[in-house]
Chains A and B, each alone.
Chain A
Amino acid sequence: MSGLDAASLAILGVVATLVSVLAWRRTRATTVDFFLAGRQVGMLTNAGAICGDYLSAASFLGVAAAVYASGVDGVWYATGFAAGFVPVLLFVAAPLRRLGSVSLPDFLAVRFGSDHVRLAAVVAVELVILSYLVPQAVGSGLTWELLVGEGIAGLSPYATGIVVSTVAVSGIVIIGGMRGTTWNQALQFGFLLAVVVWLAALLWAGGFSYPQAVEQASAAPLQAVVGDEVVEVVNRLDGGSATFGEPGARYGPVGQLALLVTLVLGTAGLPHVMNRYFTAASGAAARTTTVWVIGLAGSFYALAVMLGTAARVLVAERADEPWLADLTVDGVLRVPEHALLVLGRLLADTPGMAIVAAAAFAAMVSTIGGLLLAASASFGHDVVARILRPHGGPREPVRAGQAAVIVVSVVAAFLALIVEPSQLLAPFPSLIATMVTWAFALAGSALTPVVLLGIWWPDATARGAVAGVWTGGAVAVGALLVGLVTGADPSDGIGAVLLAPALVAAPISALTIVVVSRLDPAPGASVAVWTRMHGTAHERQMERLARVTLRDRR
């Protein structure tokens, strides 16, 4: 590791720790303060924090990797990730905030008036969090392996990256709570956006032409490294050779549809992202925040796609440089996830790579922080404060949540350690993005249908909700397990549906909720809950108070 690499990681760690300590000094050990930052996060800060939460290793390294490996077919990852916030804006953001809950399971429990719904949602949330945490940890391992190349205390470089990132983030979350995590996520997203803008500026300053790069990348058949050999990628649509600029390098028709549906539906069920909406000051603020998120995330993804394209061209052009020879075979990267890191070095030498690696760590750290906090809120508030010790003191849920952070991070690190990225790269060329898709599939199948129907269909009952969560979750997990065990082809046909199962599991879950609710003699949503969720009285009152306060001050 060069001094510069060490410095970039050290600066990142020091800033994150300072922010957390600062937040800790302002955080009281209460549920609303620790888990929700006092519900007073500003719109732009929250938008930045949501982006920091959402833009994980899958977005920062994975999108450029997917574009590098599969051309225009890889672009659909970026499109799906960005598109996911449109349904959140249309259907979820404002009502979710207005019900005034602490976590996604808490929201569902209040809406359906049932702790059975709470427990079912907690199980689904913890599964989503674990399946989302593992690829982040894998990403930290891969980045450490490339950047540092050395292990600590006898661990391999890959294992060291996993251990260092999970230990550091657990500490940051335990110290800073939601306030510290929010500030860190907003800062880290600012850093990520600045890095992709900087790389784009360096490209343009060097005379880069995006249209010409696409033309150059599409001039020859698309190639990939399998083992130690370069092979031509087969076009899934016509059986010929795939090219960068034309569809078919990665997906057939069913594969593309399954991926898009999974990413679009999954976002509204991601607990770490949805929990952020409870920190907004009002439902209207939550909605405006989402518009900001769509704009910021769209800008980020558009640039990430361009950088993936640039990497395809520049790596091939400069593959004879000695440092790049180890990472490539005949001008093609062995690990597509290295695309952005390598591009950083091609554009700005060693400092460029160090800065991109620091940004990659920032992406992982901010997402891991959000995930751990969501796990903490689910356990501390939903399990301990609401079910196990409803009469306990105000500090109990916070302490339980802090303990949950440690347990979940240890389990995630263990799972990431037993994953062998090198074994999985052949069937899944952009591994991190693919693994994150599995978490989206689970969220979109188990949680999104019940969230949507709970918000917009007052006849949905608690039994319907429980049945929907279990059915959607079981179908998604079952499909993923069958797909992985049988080595299903993720690119098209039944294999694509098995490995991105929200296309089938979400409708089954929604249908289950409707059928069971229809058969259930129990009533649906109460007027009190419905009015709180869709009304604006509280917000108007706050606005009125603010106006009166301002007038009095004058």
Chain B
Amino acid sequence: MGEPRPTSGSANHDGLDEFDAPAEVAASARTQRRIALAYGLLFAIGVFAAPALSLTLPWWSGARLAGGMSPGFVVAAGGLYAFFLALGVAAASLARSVEVRMLGTSDEEDPLP
């Protein structure tokens, strides 16, 4: 990841009591990006695995879990929505805790690395 272009003065000081040091923000953004990519990979595996399994594993579409519902149907018609929600809750909590831990801890503005 490149670094943002330096500009003169504080980036987000604006005369407020709270401010973000650019170096802190750059580090936090890198961490957030790693988290987002990791969860994004998990999401992609979940979303694309279901149709891939229906093409490669006959059991996925042929077996019956209840009535006429195959594992593929159950996952597509309900399971994936629960997966999206669980993933979303976990990702949002982690992103929030990273912000709380990594931002707003400096006493004064740091120079860019």
| A interface with B by C-beta (< 8 Å) | 72, 75-76, 78-79, 82-83, 85-87, 89-91, 94, 209-219, 237, 244-247, 253, 256-257, 260, 264, 284, 287-288, 290-291, 294-295, 298-299, 301-302, 305-306, 456-459, 523-532, 534-538, 540-541, 544
Contacts and interface: CB of A to CB of B under 8 A. Distances in A.
B68 A79 contact: no
A75 B12 contact: no
Interface string B57-90: 0000110111111101100111011101101110
Contacts of A89: 88, 91-92
A524 B7 CA distance: 12
B45 interface: no
29 contacts: A79-B80, A82-B81, A90-B36, A90-B43, A211-B66, A215-B68, A244-B68, A245-B61, A246-B62, A287-B92, A287-B95, A302-B77, A305-B77, A305-B78, A456-B33, A458-B1, A524-B2, A525-B4, A527-B22, A528-B9, A528-B12, A530-B11, A531-B20, A531-B25, A532-B12, A535-B103, A537-B14, A537-B19, A541-B17
Interface in B1-47: 1-7, 9, 11-14, 16-20, 22, 24-26, 28-29, 32-33, 36, 39-40, 43, 47
Interface of B: 1-7, 9, 11-14, 16-20, 22, 24-26, 28-29, 32-33, 36, 39-40, 43, 47-48, 50-51, 54-55, 61-62, 64-70, 72-73, 76-78, 80-82, 84-85, 87-89, 91-92, 95-96, 99, 103-104, 112
Given A534-B26, A541-B17, 4 more contacts: A245-B73, A284-B99, A294-B84, A530-B22
Contact of B3 (A85, A219, A458, A544): A458
B12 A531 contact: yes
Given A298-B84, A526-B7, A287 B51 contact: no
B69 A528 contact: no
B12 A457 contact: no
B69 A211 contact: yes
Contacts of B87: 86
Contacts of A458: 1-5
A214 B12 contact: no
A294 B103 CA distance: 27
Contacts of B66: 211
Contacts of B99: 284, 536
A218 B95 contact: no
Contacts of A541: 16-18
Q: Which of A86, A264, A306, A529 has the most CB of B within 10 A?
A: A86
Contact of B32 (A78, A217, A534): A534
Contact of A530 (B25, B62, B92): B25
A298 B16 contact: no
A529 B5 CA distance: 9
Given A264-B47, A530-B22, A530-B25, A245 B1 contact: no
Contact of B7 (A94, A247, A528): A528
**Most B CB atoms within 10 A — which of A211, A247, A253, A290?**
A247
Given A79-B80, A256-B51, A306-B77, A534 B28 contact: yes
Given A75-B76, A247-B61, A534 B2 contact: no
Contacts of B2: 457-459, 524
Given A527-B22, A534-B29, A217 B68 contact: yes
A99 to B, nearest CB: 11
A422 B28 CA distance: 54
Interface of chain A, helix or strand or loop or mixed?
helix
A517 to B, nearest CB: 10
A211 B72 contact: no
8 shortest interchain CB distances as A-B pairs: A211-B67, A215-B68, A298-B81, A535-B20, A531-B11, A530-B4, A214-B68, A459-B2
B95 A237 contact: no
Given A86-B43, A87-B43, A212 B4 contact: no
B18 A76 contact: no
B17 A246 contact: no
A294 B89 CA distance: 10
A75 B25 contact: no
Contacts of A86: 43, 84, 87-88
Nearest to B43: A86
A294 B90 CA distance: 13
Contacts of A213: 67-68
Contacts of A532: 11-12
A491 to B, nearest CB: 14
A49 to B, nearest CB: 18
A302 B1 CA distance: 39
A227 B99 CA distance: 59
Given A94-B95, A217-B68, A530-B22, A535 B11 contact: yes
A528 B11 contact: yes
A526 B112 CA distance: 12
Contact of A527 (B11, B17, B72, B96): B11
Contacts of A210: 67, 69
Contacts of B16: 537-538, 541
- Interface core residue of A298, A530, A537 (most chain B CB under 10 Å): A537
A298 B61 contact: no
A189 to B, nearest CB: 16
Contacts of B81: 82, 298-299, 301-302
A523 B16 CA distance: 28
A399 B94 CA distance: 43
Given A257-B48, A524-B4, A528-B12, A72 B73 contact: yes
